[in-house]
Structure 1
Amino acid sequence: MQTNIKAGDRVRLLSMPDDPDPIPAGTTGTVAGVYPQSDWTQVDVDWDNGRSLMLSIPPDRVAVISRPADNTN
């Protein structure tokens, strides 16, 4: 599970397998909030394409592509 994602991180979507109208793989965005649950994490992302669809990790997968200077831990 990707629990190292933090608000402010820039991410690229790798896959969103369970959504009927997914964000396209390769889309980038900025993490607005991270909400850990018992065995998954809900991640609110401001997608660069204007869509607003939260991630459920797992099964959704993203790669962190950059972090703000004060968010490197």
Structure 2
Amino acid sequence: MYYDHKKVEWLKERYPEGTRICLNRMNDDPFPVESGTLGRVDHVDDIGTLHCIFDNGRTLGVIPGVDDFHVIREGSEQTEEEEMNMSM
């Protein structure tokens, strides 16, 4: 999935470096990171992929709108569910 420049800029603002996420499920990866794995965003590239470093040592790109994940708010047990509308 590719996003236009405006959507990529929004993703970069929405998921800055260090954003903590919890992966719910990867849909199209032959060697997915396990569901429930926590990680942090290293950077968002120019096509909108979130490159993440997971707590189990794996690094892998997460694709908003394809992979299922949610943001973890630091210092809180609560999470923010991601309801991404990719029709921008």
Q: Which residue of 1 aligns with 2:81?
A: none
RMSD: 2.0
Q: Which residue of 2 aligns with 1:71?
A: none
The letter for the 1-side match of 2:52 is V
Larger RCO (alpha carbons 8 Å, 6+ apart) = 1
Matches of 2:46 and 2:61 in 1, distance apart?
13
1:32 Cα deviation after fit:
0.6
Matches of 2:18 and 2:25 in 1, distance apart?
20
Matches of 2:28 and 2:49 in 1, distance apart?
14
Question: Percent of counterpart pairs with the same letter?
Answer: 33
Question: Which of these two proteins has the greater Rg computed from alpha carbons?
Answer: 2
Question: Which SS does the other structure have where 1:26 is aligned?
Answer: coil
Q: Give aligned pairs, total.
A: 64
Q: Which residue of 1 aligns with 2:69?
A: 62
1:58 Cα deviation after fit:
2.2
- TM-score w.r.t. the length of structure 2 is 0.63
Structure number with the higher helix fraction is 2
The letter for the 1-side match of 2:58 is R
- TM-score w.r.t. the length of structure 1 is 0.74
1:58 and 1:8, CA in 2 relative to 1: closer, same or farther beyond 3 A?
same
Query: Which residue of the other structure, out of 14, 19, 29, is the alignment partner of 2:24?
Result: 14
Matches of 1:5 and 1:62 in 2, distance apart?
12
The letter for the 1-side match of 2:29 is D
Question: Post-superposition, which runs of at least 4 consecutive aligned residues in structure 1 deviate over 3 A?
Answer: none
